[in-house]
Structure 1
Amino acid sequence: MKEIYIGLMSGTSADAVDAVAAAFTDKKIELLGTKSDRLPNDVKVKIKSLSNSDPIEIDELATLDNKLGLLFAKTTKELLKSLGLESDQVKAIGSHGQTIKHRPNDFMDGFSMQIGNASIIAVETGCKVVSDFRRADIALGGHGAPLVPSFHYTYFGSSQVNRAIVNIGGIANITLLPSNDSVSGYDIGPGNTLLDGWYKQHFNLEYDDKGIWASTGEINEDFLSLLLTNKYFEKQPPKSTGPEEFCLNFIKQTLLDFRLKPEDVQATLTELTAITIAKSISKAQPIDEVFVCGGGCKNTYLMERLLKNLRDFNQPEPKSTSFLGIDPQWVEALTFAWMAKKRIHRETTSLPSVTGAKRKAVLGAVYCP
């Protein structure tokens, strides 16, 4: 009898919670159903506020933790209802949670904090929940991020060609999958987070649909060059980052000596994402195929700039992970459904070659209803 797992993902963009129901074999995924619910505006505002607060007000954090738990549970129950599934038919839910702070081990007392009360999800749905996927890796000296390379390795790897998998969420990360069965990966830098933040400031809307506004602007090479001097881009892997590093304040500080039209800033921020991805691919051993997943796939202008930059570096044209059998929107949620399966079966999912941890570990804590 197949085991059914639910995966829940709310990324650094904090725009929605994606949910999937799936069954897994070693090299095959049966996607049973999906659901995506946009987060209420007041919740998004609170997430951004807490993410940018230092120090954080503990009462506000705990209240938001509970509220997100209820929202994640609601999405899960609606997904189960749409599929005609009862809670006892689900082996476990894998919930990544909402990242509030990510300060890994290159800071004093490194940590990564995700909220979305897993006990509430368990009680509300009647299912076991696996959550808190990052802290064991950090306890072992790793960054606790990125986590998706282990999933990419399992389902996207090839023994015939060298592949690069790029996930463009709030932060962009890369997984390098040589045909020799090795794997490496790291956070590249900003994906959608700067684009969304700058657009929100000017239009009070969540994102620049298809990059239409950015496409009306002109890329400012001097501004781009200054953005690229950020020290994170020069760090060697293992490395990870988050909106703490790449936020509106980062844009404003870099803009101090410039007088640019807002759309020119948006165009240049798009180029920053595109060129840093292309550079990361070009620095790897020869890559035969590039596949892209995450919300950035929907940004037509960003994908055009990525294609142009990859061509400049004589790299393969990017394709959607749909060509590998998985819709790019659901890759991350599927990752956490799969990680829940691995945790329930006490199998490791961490990759020291990616995070820098001392050894592999079984990731995630189990919460019972």
Structure 2
Amino acid sequence: MAAGLYIGLMSGTSLDGIDGVLFDAEAMAVIGHVHAPFAPALRDELLALNTPGDNELHRAALAANAVARGYADVVSQLLEATGTPRAQVRALGAHGQTVRHQPGGPEAYTTQLLNGALLAEQAGIAVICDLRSRDVAAGGQGAPLVPAFHRAVFSAAGEDVAVLNLGGIANLSLLFADGHTGGFDCGPANCLMDGWIARHRGLAYDADGAWAASGRVQPALLAALLAEPWFALPPPKSTGRDLFHLRWLDSRLAPGLAAEDVQATLLELSARCVADALRAQMPGAATLIACGGGALNGTLMRRLAALLPGVATQTSAEHGLPVDQVEAAAFAWLAHRFVEGLQGNLPAVTGAAGPRLLGALYPA
């Protein structure tokens, strides 16, 4: 058995589909990558399950089955594309689809839809899933879980480096030159922009931020959005569609705004919440390395660069790891940590009571 091979499977809050990577944990390198979009009906159902509705338990169970089948298909495609026998993969780390995230307090929980048992049956590989719950049970946020992986692949000697994941939500990993690692969610990245363009133009996302670039930022609306109390909370903190959704936006809109101006303002919100957080938490940042789908949004990346003069704004692709592979690779790495009996969380990041082994195992 090739001891270092793992698969990572990620589907994030952007709901753009499933990313799978074959990952060599010894070489810390991605060997292969497959992306599969969600079927429109499943995407719509996963989005709907973020809010209360009828017959939720039944619908969530069916969605968890569908996610498992989608993950298993990606595994098969990945193994075929790389010519890798299933027996050579030690385990796969599977994130599942977050539909609720309520950390903090005695009734804290986080819910990622995925039938891990079904995935293990269909994939024929040991499954490590439910990777956030143990950190939440230990009093942590359960997020972000990627900063330790980011340090392993993106840190630079003698420099303060920030890694920014731009998915549905933006989160920062802070890799300080002294070896200290921080990380937290900053606010919405793509989730509001995606929802707004879907409502007004029937598109899944704003390619390259072109629609946002056609509008004008509305200062009053931007101020109303930035007044959200969550932005003022200190780390550790995390968020998701529980807070940042179109109903949240609608409640802050003044009548008569042009749709493209709202989109421009939402892009500015995404850039501002990141820039403000980075200046506050890592004022000496030399480099910002962006990954996730939002790193392909040229308008957003240019705004980040403009708001952060003196910080080299780059993408993970410039450091050897394409932007759409980073999170899946992180969850392959977390599966490796589980198999080796090593902690997966960073208590300084999540606020958990201590280091914890993350995940639940469904053997092959």
Structure 1 length-normalised TM: 0.96
Match of 2:11 in 1: 10
Whether the 8 Å CA contact 1:72–1:116 is kept in 2: the answer is: no
Deviation for aligned residue 1:3: 2.0
Q: After TM superposition, list the pairs within 5 Å mapping 1:268-307 onto structure 2.
A: 268-283=265-280, 284-307=282-305
Question: In structure 1, which of residues 334, 354, 358 is the aligned counterpart of residue 329 of structure 2?
Answer: 334
SS at the partner of 1:181? coil
CA separation in 1, counterparts of 2:50 and 2:191? Answer: 13
CA separation in 1, counterparts of 2:135 and 2:82? Answer: 34
Write the letter of the residue equivalent to 2:360.
A
Whether the 8 Å CA contact 2:96–2:114 is kept in 1: the answer is: yes
CA separation in 2, counterparts of 1:52 and 1:342? Answer: 33
Write the letter of the residue equivalent to 1:248.
L
Q: After TM superposition, list the pairs within 5 Å mapping 1:323-362 onto structure 2.
A: 323-362=318-357
Write the letter of the residue equivalent to 1:230.
E
Match of 1:267 in 2: 264
> Is 1:75 paired with 2:74?
yes
CA separation in 2, counterparts of 1:263 and 1:205? Answer: 13
Deviation for aligned residue 1:200: 0.6
Match of 1:209 in 2: 207
Whether the 8 Å CA contact 1:350–1:362 is kept in 2: the answer is: yes
CA separation in 1, counterparts of 2:286 and 2:168? Answer: 26
SS at the partner of 1:44? helix
Cα deviation digits, residues 260-315 of structure 1 (max 9, x gap): 1000000000000001111111112411111111110111111111111112xxx4
Structure 1 regions of 5+ residues with no counterpart? none
Question: Which contiguous aligned blocks of 4+ residues in structure 1 show a shift greater than 3 angstroms?
Answer: none
Whether the 8 Å CA contact 1:98–1:115 is kept in 2: the answer is: yes
Deviation for aligned residue 1:123: 0.6
Whether the 8 Å CA contact 2:101–2:109 is kept in 1: the answer is: yes
CA separation in 1, counterparts of 2:92 and 2:272? Answer: 36
Match of 1:35 in 2: 34
Write the letter of the residue equivalent to 2:214.
T
CA separation in 1, counterparts of 2:54 and 2:150? Answer: 35
Whether the 8 Å CA contact 1:69–1:117 is kept in 2: the answer is: yes
Write the letter of the residue equivalent to 1:282.
R
Write the letter of the residue equivalent to 2:71.
F
Match of 1:220 in 2: 218
Write the letter of the residue equivalent to 1:291.
I
Question: In structure 1, which of residues 169, 172, 197 is the aligned counterpart of residue 170 of structure 2?
Answer: 172
Structure 2 regions of 5+ residues with no counterpart? none
Whether the 8 Å CA contact 1:157–1:181 is kept in 2: the answer is: no
Write the letter of the residue equivalent to 1:355.
T
Match of 2:49 in 1: 50
CA separation in 2, counterparts of 1:285 and 1:211? Answer: 27
Whether the 8 Å CA contact 1:145–1:355 is kept in 2: the answer is: yes
Q: After TM superposition, list the pairs within 5 Å mapping 1:229-244 onto structure 2.
A: 229-244=227-242
Deviation for aligned residue 1:2: 4.4
Cα deviation digits, residues 179-222 of structure 1 (max 9, x gap): 10000110000010000000111122210111111110000011
- Larger displacement relative to structure 2 (198-207 or 40-49): 198-207
Whether the 8 Å CA contact 2:3–2:88 is kept in 1: the answer is: no
SS at the partner of 1:328? coil
> Is 1:144 paired with 2:139?
no
- Larger displacement relative to structure 2 (161-170 or 1-10): 1-10
Whether the 8 Å CA contact 2:93–2:335 is kept in 1: the answer is: yes
Q: After TM superposition, list the pairs within 5 Å mapping 1:89-238 onto structure 2.
A: 89-106=88-105, 109-238=107-236
Deviation for aligned residue 1:55: 7.7
Deviation for aligned residue 1:67: 1.1
In the alignment of these two chains, the number of paired residues is 362
CA separation in 1, counterparts of 2:112 and 2:237? Answer: 18
Deviation for aligned residue 1:117: 1.0
Cα deviation digits, residues 223-282 of structure 1 (max 9, x gap): 101100001100011100001100000110010x34210000000000000011111111
Kindly report the root-mean-square deviation, in angstroms, between the aligned alpha carbons of the 2 structures: 1.3
> Is 1:318 paired with 2:317?
no
Distance 1:64 1:276, change over 3 A: same
Deviation for aligned residue 1:85: 1.6
SS at the partner of 1:51? coil
SS at the partner of 2:90? strand
Distance 1:269 1:56, change over 3 A: farther
Deviation for aligned residue 1:23: 0.5
Write the letter of the residue equivalent to 1:201.
R
CA separation in 1, counterparts of 2:223 and 2:322? Answer: 34
Write the letter of the residue equivalent to 1:18.
D
